[in-house]
Every structure is written in C-alpha cells, then in structure tokens.
Amino acid sequence: MNHKRITLFAGHYGSGKTNIAVNYALLLAREGRRTAIADLDIVNPYFRTKDSAAELAAAGVSLISPQFANSNVDLPALPAEAYRLVEDRSLHAVMDIGGDDRGAYALGRYTPFILEEGDYRMAFVANPCRPLTRTPEEALAVMREIEAAGGLPFTAIVNNANLAHETTAETVLAAVPYMERLSELSGLPVWMTSAEETVAEELAGRIPRLLPMKLQAKYFDLPEQKGPPRPLFG
C-alpha cells in the first residue's frame, strides 16, 4: 500500500472514519513512520479518536485531539497543535474528519496548506449498510457536500461495508459492485477495504488492499446476542 504524507478520512457520520483512521495510523507506525493523528471531529462528542489514546501512545503515534474531547464540555474547539500536521512535513499525518458536511467545515482552515503541499489522500469512507448512503448515488451526494464544505476534493474511496458484529466476508464482498459504481460516478479509485480483523482474515486473497482493524469496543454486548438480536414483538 502506498502512503501519502497526509491522509484524511471523511464520510457520512457513522461510516467508520475514526476506527479506520486509528488503525491506519497504527499501520503507519508499525511500518516505522513518524506518525501523528488528529481528531478534527467537531460534530459527535461521543465516539472519538481519544478513546484509543492508550493504543496510539503505545505505538508511538502522537494524538492531537480537541481540548475538551471526552469531557462534558460540548465545545467543538480545535487545538492550535493541529497545524503541526500541515507544517511539519517530516511527519506522516492522519486526519479524522467529522461526519457529513457539518464536520468537514473544520477541515477548511487546513485545506490551503494541504493543497499547496499536494502530497495528500482524501479518502471517502463508504458503508452501504448505513441508512442514508444505501445507494452509490446517495454516497456521491454526501461526497459532494463534504467537498463543498471542506474545500478539499476527494481522491480515493474506502470500502468499509459492515453491519457491526454481524459483519461477514459476504457483507464486504456484496458491497464491491456498489464501490465500483461509486468509483465510476466519482472517477476515483477504490483505494482500500477495511474490515474488522477476523473478517479481514476471511477476506484475505479475495479482495485487494485490505486494512484489518481492531475496533474500539464501545457497545454493550449482550450475552445471548451472538447472532441477530431477537425482535421484541411478533
């Protein structure tokens, strides 16, 4: 997998940006690169890059997150330190952009620097199992909204098809035609496919450029709920 100096992950909220950004930063660090990750999510105060602070620190990845992340202060302030990512060109930088166009407004202030340097990959994270991006056409519309807000054109697509703990290799493979259509509509390549590590194992050799991921465990597993949850009525 070839890497640009700055890699940005953006997409519809809940598409999986944060998990991908964290795992991608860990991959860069494992490959021996000086890596920093910035959480630019000004929209959702619940699921954050900072939740993976311990793993990132252990891997030597520096983490730049909003001052009030994971606190009760619902204040979407970005740290001045985030400029390090665009100014220190000896770093490999990963940027986790907030959901939808609202989240991408925060990106705008860094866009001129990123464009000037020109060594970046702006990846659109797509999950067809999410309700507002069920079709490639809907995903394209979200893509255009984010570009308009952040001022930075996308250059790649990430296939992150998943149904959380119900994801199988088939879930990911079934999304391939969707990704190909999105690629055709946008003119952008499908850069990689990200999947939880056990699913990625099943996918090995069946799909190119896989990013196996360790996921942030945030939801509350139910003891009897290994398969689909039982419906409440009927």
Region near another protein per CB under 8 A, out of 87-95, 183-191, 203-211, 225-233:
225-233
Q: How many residues bind another protein (CB under 8 A)?
A: 31
Work out the end-to-end distance of the chain between its first and last CA atoms, rounded to an integer number of angstroms. 48
127 sits near another protein (criterion: CB under 8 A): yes
Q: How far apart are CA 170 and CA 182, in angstroms?
A: 19
46 sits near another protein (criterion: CB under 8 A): yes
Residues 165-184 that bind another protein (CB under 8 A): 165-166
For β-strands 62-64 and 92-97, DSSP reports them as unpaired
Nearer to another protein, 80 or 232 (CB): 232
217 sits near another protein (criterion: CB under 8 A): no
For β-strands 6-11 and 120-126, DSSP reports them as parallel
Q: Could you please report the per-residue DSSP string of 99-120?
A: SHHHHHGGGGGTHHHHHHH--E
Which residue among 3, 4, 34, 45 contacts another protein (CB under 8 A)?
A: 45
Q: How far apart are CA 76 and CA 66, in angstroms?
A: 7
Residues 84-103 that bind another protein (CB under 8 A): none
Q: How far apart are CA 182 and CA 137, in angstroms?
A: 7
DSSP 8-state code for residue 224:
T
- Smallest distance from the beta carbon of 13 to another protein, in angstroms? 8
194 sits near another protein (criterion: CB under 8 A): no
Residues at the contact surface with another protein, assessed by CB under 8 A: 13-14, 44-47, 72, 74, 127, 129-132, 134, 162-166, 218-223, 228-229, 231-234
